[in-house]
Every structure is written in structure tokens, then in C-alpha cells.
Amino acid sequence: MRKIEKVLLVVNLHKPDAQRLSTEIISYLEGRGIAVEFLGLDGRTVPPKIGKVDLAISLGGDGTVLFSARMLQEQGIPILAVNLGTFGFITEVSVDEWQEAFEKFCCGETILSRRLMFRVTVTRDGKTVFLGHGLNDAVVNSTGISKVVTFELQLNDTMLGTFRADGIITATPTGSTAYSLAAGGPIVDSEMEALIVTPICPFTLSNRPLVVSGDDVIKIHIMEHQRTQINLTIDGQVSMPLEERDMITIEKSRSRALLALSNKRNFYEVVRSKLQWSGVTHA
């Protein structure tokens, strides 16, 4: 049995039925003597400080889970992700299943998936100007009219070369089914210890996606004489403008995202459903 005394309820207020389901969950939890801390998301990207809680329930989509994971990454708080729309790649629990999923979690019948997260450091003129964490991906890309960015890519102590592309994505296995997949990257089992490096529309077609060890350190050096503005984005939610000669270092975080998995469906069943792998042609 898991002892639950306080639950953090993270809700995407833009989702239909968010308020109704929030009221239902709060009433259920308080009826069992469980305190509830409510956090409504209405466009904020900077996670607030959260006190001691035993479980977070995320109501929304994958974006709500990503926000929750960054907010809770230092505290080791499990996240039960409930999807308020169609199934996401991360949110496996449907609206009708939340109570059953919660009770199974309390009874210790739920598997906790320990998802790899990453840490991003931006160094400028020898000083750290940005430090952030993410669960899905870190994207360096152009924001101006001219899309091509020139950068050097380094893996540990090995220089992999100079790349010209619309940008580059560094994704975790959890994020392999997001932007990286759309850019031609591979699908990687969400439980693996790996990082995926995917160039975005590379100028040279031989620049292909790489799957590297989760213990590897990836460095992206922004070259001089760029013809476009360049930006760093984490999980599609946190953004920072970059400058020429900036060094972006991406490595495995010491923290993990703890996701309570549904026993109704597994990762590959979700992938099969989302990507419509039915064996027939879809128009």
C-alpha cells in the first residue's frame, strides 16, 4: 500500500471538461481524507515551487505532463497522467479510468516508469547563462526568414563535424515520438537509456539521426556569421534566444520523471493506435 496524504492536481484549464473533472477528483480525494493542492495552467511556462505532496495527477495532454515533469523533477514525485482528449504518447489513462488508476496506484499495483530526463546548459563567454531540464526534447533552430543554421556537433570528446541545417533536436526516448519523429528520427522504447540526435532538414543528406548512450554528453556550438536568429526550446514550452559562439551542452539529468503506467495499454499499443498501424493504406 502507498500512503497518500496530499495530492497535487495539475490541470490544463483550456481543455474541455477540465473544471468538471477537477471538481469530481477533488471531491473524491477529500472524501477519503486526502488534501489537494490545485494548480491551474493557463499559459504559464515557468513551474512554481511546490511543497511536499505524495502524488501529482496531471489533467490535460502530453504538454501538461511535460510541465509537471519539469516542475517535480527534483522531488521524485510520481505523476498519474489523465488525458482529457485522445490518447497522447505519454498520457495513457482515459477520463473514465482515473479513479481505477488512482486506486491501483494506492494499492501498489501500478508500475512506475522511471523516464530519462536531460539537463541543458548554455555557456556564453565562459559563463553559464541558462540551465534547464526537460523530458521530451531540446531544439536548437532558426527563427528568422533564412532557415539554415551552422553549428558544430560534438559527442563527448569527439567532434562529429560542422552541420548546416534548419536546426537540431536532442530527444529522450520519451520524446522520440514527438518532434524528432516528425523530423525523421527513430521511435525508441520509452524505457531505454539513450539520447536521439536528429538534424532538421540538413543541407547535406548524409547527416542522419544518431542514437547514442544516455551517458554521452552532446555539445552544440553555434558558429559565427549566422544569417538568422537562433533559439533554444525545451519541451516546446521553455524558450531562450541564442547568440553566435554559444555552447549548448545536453546531458542526462540526475533526476527522473516517475510516470504511473496504465495496465490497460502499453507503449507499443499507444504507438500502434496513434500512428494507425493497421496493415492497410490510409488516404
Give the highest mean pLDDT range of 45-54, 84-93, 96-105: 96-105
pLDDT of residue 91: 80
- Tell me which of 42, 54, 62, 137 is the catalytic residue: 62
Would the pLDDT of 135 be above 90? yes
Please report the pLDDT score of residue 149 as a whole number: 95
Nearest to 91 by CA among 63, 72, 130: 63
For the chain, what percent of residues have pLDDT higher than 90?
74
Residues 6 or more apart in contact with residue 257 via CB below 8 angstroms: 69, 72, 73, 79, 114, 115, 117, 135, 174
What's the confidence (pLDDT) of residue 283?
54
| pLDDT of res. 213 | 98
Domain locations in the chain? 6-111+261-274, 117-254
The yes-or-no verdict on residue 227 having pLDDT over 60 is: yes
Q: Which residue shows C-alpha cell 530519462?
A: 116
* Domain 117-254 -> CATH class: mainly beta
Burial of 171 (0-12, 13-18, 19+ CB in 10 A): buried
| Per-residue pLDDT at 51 | 83
Question: pLDDT, tens digit, for every residue of 16-70?
Answer: 889 999 999 999 999 999 999 999 987 766 677 788 999 999 999 999 999 999 9
Q: What is the pLDDT of residues 177-226, one digit of tens each?
A: 999 999 999 999 999 999 999 999 998 888 899 999 999 999 999 999 99
For the domain made up of 6-111+261-274, the CATH class stated in words is alpha beta
Look at the block and give the residue holding cell 521511435: 187
Active site residue 62: yes
